[in-house]
Structure 1
Amino acid sequence: MKHKVLYRGGTGEIVEKKSRFIATTMPVKNEEEALRFIEELRKKYWNATHNCFAYVVGEQNHLQRCSDDGEPSQTAGRPMLEVLLGEGIHDAAVVVTRYFGGTLLGTGGLVRAYAAAVKEGLRQSVILEKTAGIRMKIQTDYTGLGKIQYILGRRGIVPFKCDYTQEVCLEVAFPGEQKEQLLKEWMEATNGQVKILEEEACSYGNHEGEYIFF
């Protein structure tokens, strides 16, 4: 099972008819974190015309909230929330700060501006694909090493740690549904010369070639 999560927040800005829209994103695990983040941005941009927000929490987005913060109803918070949902991003909060530029945008213009600001904020963020899987430490001899690496490589799995002593220990992470087939292939390829030393359920992603465990 995979889904996208906001791993690292960012800030993006657009200008529409001299109004500045500053979008700031932040990963959040629960509503308390989201509310703290929103309050921090309100204090930071205390002199702004509006600080609108939206956040989604949970693998099924069971918690969804948004606010227009004084903008016309449904012109800010809802479009912002719909961007997060449309991108399939979980566990994320975004605040769009507006400094009014003197020209009214109209309801349609506001909807487009707030949505565009969130998209720009997300472009400046780090979004990872989070996979529910298994983290495993295995041991084999040097003869079996190449065979195991070949099997992993065919599935796009790269060990994140290797220890070379009398035997070789590899640490890998992979989707849970691949476990039985991988074990079967390892055993057949090495004539049973592979041992599972550690195994645990995990959630992981990959950022610039580095494994990230949640």
Structure 2
Amino acid sequence: MTSPRSYPATIAAPVEHELVIKKSRFITRVEPVASFEEADAVIARIRKQWWDARHNCTAMITGLLGDQARSSDDGEPSGTAGVPMLEVLRRRELTDVVAVVTRYFGGVKLGAGGLVRAYSSAVSQTLDLASLVHRQSLTQVTIDVAHADAGRYDNILREWVLHHGATLGDPRYGALATFEVWVPAQELDRLADDIAAASAGSVVPVIGEERVVDVPG
């Protein structure tokens, strides 16, 4: 069996962190975004917030495979800010994220190597505070049960997804209770077997579409 394709992760929510190096303040904001346009809006907002700062350096990666990237040194010596920030995002295997490091100059020059380390550390330390959202290619499975059995299957499925790399969608309640589970391809047979065992063969999961789904880390 071929291994499932891996996708870059993103972050669940914005994170902010401040670092002081030789009297310079490095205020880092990292936010999840869905496009370059959203990233540009974040950058514009932060530039307005920290309008009196010497530099607002940026790095962004977007796209399901993390194949679109941009960075800016914003007046720092070329290659000392934006690219090192971008490298941290790539090393962490992230996408759909923008990082902005605002620098208030403290009067002490750091040199090119010092700047690279400062901007890299600023982004890295901020990402250490972030909650990750992983992305997997999962297959939709729907399971219809009688309302009287809904509580039992809800418990079974909540426990099942914890151990099989799967995630639950929102249940729907019509004539029957319909549960939605997003399952890795290699776990589909196992789910069918476990549901058959739980229902004495009376409940048959229905296989649906495959898509890339966000899974909180």
Cα distance, 1:129 vs. partner?
1.1
Write out aligned runs for 1:1-214 (5 A). 1-2=5-6, 3-140=8-145, 154-155=163-164, 157=166, 159=168, 169-184=178-193, 186-187=195-196, 190-196=199-205, 199-202=208-211, 203-206=213-216
In structure 2, list runs of 5 or more residues that go unmatched. Answer: none
Looking at structure 2, the residues matched to 114 and 136 of structure 1 have their Cα atoms a distance apart, in angstroms, of 44
SS in 2 for 1:26: strand
Unmatched runs of 5 consecutive residues or more in structure 1:
208-214
Distance, in Å, in 2 between the alignment partners of 1:73 and 1:164 is 58
1:46-76 Cα shifts (integer Å, max 9, x gaps)? 1001000000011222211001111111100
Give the SS at the match of 1:15.
strand
Count of aligned residue pairs for this structure pair: 206
Given that residues 83 and 118 in structure 1 are in contact (C-alpha distance below 8 angstroms), is that contact kept between their aligned partners in structure 2?
yes
Identical columns (%) = 36
8 Å CA contact 1:11, 1:125 repeated in 2: no
SS of the aligned residue for 1:53 comes to: strand
Tell me how far 1:100 sits from its aligned partner: 0.4
The one-character-per-residue Cα deviations of 1:132-172 (angstroms, maximum 9, x if unpaired) are 21333303575x959x6586565255756678999765332
CA gap 1:157/1:56 in 2 versus in 1, 3 angstroms: closer
Answer whether contact 2:132 2:216 (CA < 8 A) is retained. no
Q: Distance in 2 between matches of 1:145 and 1:11?
A: 40
Structure 1 residue 39 displacement after superposition: 1.2
Q: Which has the higher strand share?
A: 1
Q: CA deviation at 1:127?
A: 1.6
| SS of 1:134 mapped into structure 2 | strand
Q: Write the letter of the residue equivalent to 1:20.
A: R
CA distance in 1, matches of 2:17, 2:30: 9
Secondary structure of 1:8's match? coil
Inter-partner Cα distance in structure 1 for 2:162 and 2:56: 47
SS of residue paired to 2:204: strand
**Secondary structure of the equivalent of 1:90?**
coil
Contact map agreement 2:192 2:204 (CA 8 A) in 1: no
TM-score normalised per structure 2: 0.79
CA distance in 1, matches of 2:165, 2:103: 44
CA distance in 1, matches of 2:38, 2:201: 48
Verify the 8 A CA contact 1:7 1:27 in the aligned structure 2.
yes
